[in-house]
Amino acid sequence: MSLALARRASAEFAGTALLVAAVVGSGIAATRLSPGDAGLQLLENAIATALALGALILTFGPVSGAHLNPVVSAVDWWLGRRAGTGLPARDLAAYTVAQAGGAISGAVLADLMFGVPAAAWSRTERSGGNLWLAEVVATAGLVVLIFALARSGRTSAAPAAVGAYIGAAYWFTSSTSFANPAVTIGRAVTDTFAGIAPASVPGFVAAQLIGGLVAVAALAAWYPGSGQAGDAVVVPHRIKEIEAR
């Protein structure tokens, strides 16, 4: 692995870790601050996650693009492979490993900060066709948003737009919008408000991957040539220039 790729992968690791720490940590705080009020707990969790996501994109975007999501990285590779933009296959593998490892580390970090067991399999079952459909919708919408912003030259809006979308999707999807395989894996190792039972993970991840495919089809119809903006996903990060240094 080159030094430049290691630098970008470390940013994906740290960014995904902090994202999951925000999701899990705010979930724990919500259950303690608002016991017995599930609606308020979800609101607190959603607001914290949306704000943290926007801040993390601003922090890590110039380094790695702040994908923080294997589906975003995979679509970036797929759409950019012919245009010579986006992630090469080697980088996709490095990003995916970094994101998954970061997600697990972030869940452990949040648990430690709140004095609960560092790692415990979640017992929260999340399974059923309605939840899987929700994950398809949530993931497809997220990916279309990200690539639409890049293709139309509006990446400066990405931190606010992506954070707003995820915050809203907490409420308009029955699954509360995981929309991210790495985050899903990380949330399996915390038996807290934001957890998901390991047995429920494969269904969610499969739905998220399908959502990515739906997004690719939608982008082909609505934003042809999206692959030309691969180096601007989620925000511009100039992969080729960094690798050349």
| Domain spans in the chain, listed from the N-terminal domain onward | 3-244
- Rounded CA gap, 70 and 156, in Å? 22
The pTM assigned to this predicted structure is: 0.95
Query: Looking at domain 3-244, does it have CATH number 3.30.70.890?
Result: no
The pLDDT value recorded for residue 238 is 61
- Per-residue pLDDT at 129: 98
User: Distance between CA atoms of 9 and 27, rounded to whole angstroms?
Assistant: 27
Answer whether 109's CB lies under 8 Å from 23's CB: no
For the chain, which ranges sit under pLDDT 70?
Answer: 238-245
CA distance 73 to 192: 28
Question: Does an H or E element contain 196, and which?
Answer: none
Residue-level pLDDT at 96: 98
Which amino acid, one-letter code, is at 180?
Answer: N
85 DSSP assignment: -
- How many CB atoms are closer than 10 A to CB 245? 6
Q: What is the pLDDT of residue 121?
A: 98
Rounded CA-CA distance 141/17 in Å is 23
Per-residue model confidence (pLDDT) at position 82:
80
Q: What are the structure tokens assigned to 98, written together?
A: 């970094």
